[in-house]
Amino acid sequence: MRFDLTNASYRVLQRAENLRLQPGISSIDAAKILLALFDEEESRAAHWLGEKELTAGDFRLSLFAEQETSPPSFGNIAAGGIVPDGNAASVQDATGQDAPLSVSPSLSAYSTSRFPHPSIRFYLDDVAVNAGRFTPELESTLETIACRFVRTERRKEAVTTAGGGVRSVANVIGRFTAATEHLLLAAVLDGGKTGQYLRESGFDAADLYHRIEELENRQAKRETADVQPEALSTALQEDGSDMKSADSLSVLRIIDAAANRGREAVRVLEDYARFVLNDADLTRQLKEFRHCFQETLNIFPLQNRLAARDTQADVGTNIETADEYERHTLDDIVSANFGRLQESLRSLEEFAKFLKTPSAKQFEQLRYRSYTLQRISGREMKEEQGVSPVVRTARVVPRTALYAILDCRPDEESFAALAKQLIDGGVNVIQLRDKTADDRTLLSRSAILKNIIGTSGVLFMMNDRADLAVLAQADGVHAGQSELPVAALRQIIGSGMLVGISTHNIGQARQAVADGADYIGAGPVFASATKEFSELAGLDFLREIAAEITLPVFAVGGITLSNVDEVSAAGITGIAVSSALIRSENPLETAAGFTAKLKNG
């Protein structure tokens, strides 16, 4: 089952993902959901919390109370097809299949039996949303809620006769849409301190369920009153088009041809990402794109398109160009199929406008998404061929590398001495990072560092300051999640410099890839002596990165000679180190130790 999101619930999940409540806990749990709901002031859930006179401050004070209780069951809710005694009940989900209802005392069995995947997939306007990881308990609760609430969407979709003609327009039952009230219900059902707090504050799971159900029933009645079944041709005719006209049938023939071209192109690109690049993230994005494309095409039923299809009479089937059958490199295949995809989407967009269907806007958005996918694919292709990931610099970010983060040191002499020791010890990248130094000091140290690096091939990255990176003629700039995004950095540094981005979860890593970063920092992995973190991404994050992201990755945060093997075991061969180097009694020897471990790992 897949979830849609309202705009408000999407904002809530984004906000929850960024909350840091306890060290070592990176997943979204009920506590983060509730705190995020308080901030969504215009939402229904926030209004209902206000009715109970609850505030985020009050909840924070009670958050670390010791007592916990088991989650309540939906057991006695005799509505929506739910049978009393939740431990034995079942309800049909959106596919018509029975889904178990047991939510007490533990939700984990439900999650592993019917929904074995590690995270729920959310969508907003048919675009995949990376909302981070969820605790198993919250995930199971949301899945359970989804099986009880199915919203009805009305859209014009043809029902055909046995002979293939259009008979009427059916009401299509849509996917479950998670609104803020559903997230609030999930928090009330929580088995820990969050659920206990809400239940003690007057929220009852059964009452809240009925309240939400009544809202959705009223909405369904309004939709039923507004939309009546009718023939597809009549529906389109009301919008200013006539499917019976020769022009409209010709347009449907164009749409059929363009749809076939586009779908075929996406499949070629998906196979390339999967089998050539072995890129799990790009493969996932292309697969999701293909599904969104097909769903958008569903407004033009296949039976109607088949009726309009006339391949034998198509004058274009015998027209060929000289280079149509020439593909000298894999890059040629990728470029050709992205071209086919974008041309087909443009054609679909234009002729959908003639039929005055809402799909024209959707085809336009898919075309824009294809441009981003092409950029990602192009960079991965260059890397696969051993060329710089972006053909804008002669320098390549190495995958197995020691990345040193260096401050300005008390004076120029100690700075120069340390930089030289690091380079002699085998460091591949040096980032100049000092939040306390003024601009003149940073520029002065940059000049010293450039001179020491010389022709060694070591990369020089400036932390955060794109303007100083340009003035210092650095190889690139590294930015965090709260700094300028990649596109803005490019406006300052141009296309000839590298961009690195710090990431703390898989969603941010995917976004950095999509934005065009040349490498990513992943962490914090361990507690650091130089920087305090409210939450650690940990080794699990590194394993996620290693399984999916193909850009060069540098694990960062508390890495020492004693724990670097754990990083290598997680699948990451690049490490970024600060304290273990700059505070070492012998930086050269320590750097050499890291380098040896990376090579042997």
Q: What confidence tens digit (pLDDT) does each residue in 2-24 have?
A: 567 777 888 888 888 777 776 55
pLDDT per position as a tens digit, 102-156: 333 333 322 333 333 334 555 554 445 555 577 777 877 887 787 777 544 434 3
CB 320 within 8 A of CB 205: no
- Give CA separation, 571 vs 25, 297, 405, 554, in Å: 21, 40, 22, 11
pLDDT at 313: 65
CB 390 within 8 A of CB 500: no
Tally of helices (H runs) and strands (E runs) in the chain: 24, 16
Strands of 2-67, DSSP E: 3-5
Residue 535 DSSP SS3:
coil
Strands 157-160, 166-170: pairing kind? antiparallel
pLDDT per position as a tens digit, 481-500: 999 999 899 999 988 899 99
Q: Name the one residue in this structure whose structure tokens are 């962490």.
A: 523
pLDDT per position as a tens digit, 274-287: 888 888 888 888 98
pLDDT at 105: 31
Residue type, 117: H
pLDDT at 459: 95
pLDDT per position as a tens digit, 87-108: 323 333 333 443 333 333 333 3
Q: What is the CATH number of domain 401-600?
A: 3.20.20.70
Q: Name the one residue in this structure whose structure tokens are 């460091």.
A: 427
Query: Which residues share a beta bridge with 554?
Result: 521
Q: How far out from the chain centre does Cα 456 lie?
A: 38
Q: Name the one residue in this structure whose structure tokens are 């889904």.
A: 99
- Mean pLDDT is highest, among 79-83, 382-386, 567-571, for 567-571
pLDDT at 312: 63
Q: How far out from the chain centre does Cα 211 lie?
A: 32
Alpha-carbon gap, residue 261 to 344, rounded angstroms? 6
Of 185-189, 244-248, 314-318, 507-511, the least confident: 244-248
Q: Is the peptide bond before 587 cis (omega within 30 degrees of 0)?
A: no
CA-closest candidate to residue 138, choices 193, 98, 183: 183
Q: Please give the structure tokens belonging to residue 216.
A: 């959705």
Alpha-carbon gap, residue 599 to 254, rounded angstroms? 57
Angle at Cα 363 formed by Cα 362 and Cα 365, nearest 5°?
Answer: 65
Domain ranges of the chain: 3-226, 232-384, 401-600
CA-closest candidate to residue 302, choices 263, 276, 245: 263
Residue type, 203: F
pTM for the model: 0.49
